[in-house]
Structure 1
Amino acid sequence: MKRGTLVLNHLKEEYLQPALLESIKQFTDCYPIPENLKDRLPVPSQFYYGKEIWEAAVCAILSGKNLLLAGHKATGKNIFAENLSAIFGRPRWDISFHVNMDASTLIGCDTFENGKVVFRPGPVFQCAKYGGFGILDEINMAKNEALAVLHAALDFRHVIDVPGYERIPLHPAARFIATMNYGYAGTKELNEALTSRFVVIQMPMITHEQLKRLLQCEFPAIKTKYAEQFAALFLELQKKCENSEISSKPLDLRGLLDAVALMERGLEAHTALDMGITNKSFDIYEQTFIRDIIHTRIPRHLEHNQLFEV
């Protein structure tokens, strides 16, 4: 199946406006990518659910804007960024920020090759040159001086100046999609100069119905009863987290999906949920509290054939 077709079919199921679907097709037809970059095209294994967010993001990309996806943990920001890259048929560069990230890591730097000094391009340079989507993950963990090199690329100039080399105009298909969580250790507020260069989407918390659909898509054999129970369990943990009854560590959507995958392999349900959710907290009291919540929804000694169609 053609890359991006899976996401396109998903968008049809989300009842995205036909005019937007046609504009996406025109975009992908207008900007083919080199053969040597096709291995950078993502093949999504999961999909983001939410028509309003999809329409807002697609309109922004088609308008030439860069996106900042802001929101709490487990809102699907990285899945959504991957989906956007797939639906627009663009090669993806993942740029994970940390305190030691500097300008040369983003743009590129000099290196030795065959006895000569040559320029080794960084991910931002390659996005600009080839029309890729640069996923700026946890952008609010980066130092301001590192992010300053993005200013000319993100505003009306659409260029990257490489000191000592050349001035690179951005490919018309190039876009940057940044993600940021609230309240993580090491994060900070973005400065106004950088924020103004993005259009911002506040990612909503996942709903019961969306989570149920995600579980059924990821695990087609799961029985509806337990897809609903796992969705309800996650949302109950989310509520406990919002009320400061537990920390955010066990509120892990990836962990829930990992736990269900372990159950599908035959692992006992409570052991799998311990590995995917409960043990993400290292506080004994909190672990006991979370297990009590799990026990109220998921029976002990749950058999594989009770969870999945065989």
Structure 2
Amino acid sequence: MLDFLRQEKISEKLIAEIKHYRNFYKVNPDVEYRIPTPKYNYYGKEIWEEAITAIICGENLLLVGPKASGKNVFAENLSAAFGRPLWDISFHVNTDFSSLIGEDTFKNGQVVLRHGPIYECAALGGFGVLDEINMARNESIALLHAVLDFRRVIDIPGYDRIPLKDSTRFIATMNYGYAGTRELNEALVSRFMVIDMPTISSENLMKLLRQEFPNMKDNYVEQFTGLFKDLQKKSENSEISTKSVDLRGLLSSIHLIDRGLKASRALEMGIVNKSFDNFEREIIEDVIHLRIPENVERSEIFSN
């Protein structure tokens, strides 16, 4: 990851700070398996430098942005860059204290606390990704206040007061406008440094495609990038919904094409069929056919 950061021209001073962080905060061997090896790299120099600086200063992060802005990819990249074990904590309307911190259970004839992901992350100095934090009820995540502010403790009734390891950081993600989401209360937001994640630029999307598909011909790198941006623009103009503006779907479709599936069928599975409105599907198909010919062969897209 550090070589990648140098390629992205991240400040050498910040890279040196990351190396110091890695050397100073040792990882418990029992959880080394949790240090991620990212499938995708996040491209964006300014966002990287903002996040690295905040983490070094002991801050927690809230990544806010639209669909396909790479929030979870970036959170995983940060964990890998700092060499920290990662806990993914998905929030929903039924998220409560026990699902985050832990609950009573029997072990060897005694009642003990079965540790939840927040507890483990805090006690072992990991990075906790609080995914879609605005899907949980405010009252259920109020318990995070003491975890995220200057106190940095978990006070568990009937058990103990657990201080967070100095290396522990929490990275929350959220989208606006999804079904089931709600506004975060001010008290919670004030405990984060907030990064507004931009949608991926054409230049960075081409970098991603070249990394993922090194044998793709340059003209099709440009066409698939243009296809994604065309769909994005249609969505911004309210001509289609955001359902088909799906970067994961695009990458998966290209993988299917690389394996020999006809391009039109692969893109139908990965992009077109994400919409369930017939009129919208026709618009999406028209956008695709302007960029990717319906009968294009794999050999025209890939060099070998």
TM-score by length of 2: 0.99
User: What's 2:106 paired with?
Assistant: 112
What does 1:70-85 align with in structure 2 at a 5 Å threshold?
A: 70-85=64-79
User: What's 2:176 paired with?
Assistant: 182
Asked if 1:49 corresponds to 2:43, the answer is yes
Asked if 1:160 corresponds to 2:159, the answer is no
Deviation at 1:182, TM superposition (A): 1.2
Deviation sequence 1:64-107 (CA, Å, 0-9, x none): 00000001000000000000000000000000001011011101
CA distance in 2, matches of 1:146, 1:175: 20
Deviation sequence 1:163-189 (CA, Å, 0-9, x none): 111111110000000000111000011
User: What's 2:195 paired with?
Assistant: 201
Asked if 1:286 corresponds to 2:268, the answer is no
Are 1:103 and 1:145, in contact at CA under 8 Å, matched by a contact in 2?
no
CA distance in 2, matches of 1:93, 1:189: 24
Deviation at 1:114, TM superposition (A): 2.8
CA distance in 1, matches of 2:98, 2:3: 39
CA distance in 2, matches of 1:249, 1:82: 23
Deviation at 1:253, TM superposition (A): 0.6
Deviation sequence 1:250-293 (CA, Å, 0-9, x none): 11110001101111111111111000000000111111110011
Asked if 1:240 corresponds to 2:234, the answer is yes
Instruction: Pick the aligned partner of 1:66 from 60, 63, 81.
Output: 60
CA distance in 2, matches of 1:266, 1:163: 58
What does 1:118-267 align with in structure 2 at a 5 Å threshold?
A: 118-267=112-261
CA distance in 2, matches of 1:163, 1:87: 35
CA distance in 2, matches of 1:145, 1:112: 28
SS at match of 1:98: coil
CA distance in 1, matches of 2:94, 2:217: 46
CA distance in 1, matches of 2:235, 2:298: 30
Paired amino acid for 2:130 = L
CA distance in 1, matches of 2:173, 2:54: 15
Deviation sequence 1:23-68 (CA, Å, 0-9, x none): 0000000011111101101001101101000000000000000000
Paired amino acid for 2:81 = I
Cα RMSD, aligned residues only = 0.7
Instruction: Pick the aligned partner of 2:21 from 16, 24, 27.
Output: 27
Paired amino acid for 1:168 = I
SS at match of 2:104: strand
SS at match of 2:238: coil
Asked if 1:295 corresponds to 2:289, the answer is yes
CA distance in 1, matches of 2:232, 2:10: 29
SS at match of 1:160: strand
TM-score by length of 1: 0.97
CA distance in 2, matches of 1:14, 1:57: 14
Are 1:47 and 1:79, in contact at CA under 8 Å, matched by a contact in 2?
yes
Which structure 1 segments of 5+ residues have no match?
A: 1-6
Instruction: Pick the aligned partner of 1:37 from 31, 34, 42.
Output: 31
Which structure 2 segments of 5+ residues have no match?
A: none
Paired amino acid for 1:111 = T
CA distance in 1, matches of 2:221, 2:108: 57
CA distance in 1, matches of 2:264, 2:69: 24
Deviation at 1:115, TM superposition (A): 2.6
Paired amino acid for 1:106 = L
How many residues align? The count is: 304
Quote the sequence identity (%): 60
Structure 1 segments of 4+ aligned residues over 6 angstroms from their partners: none
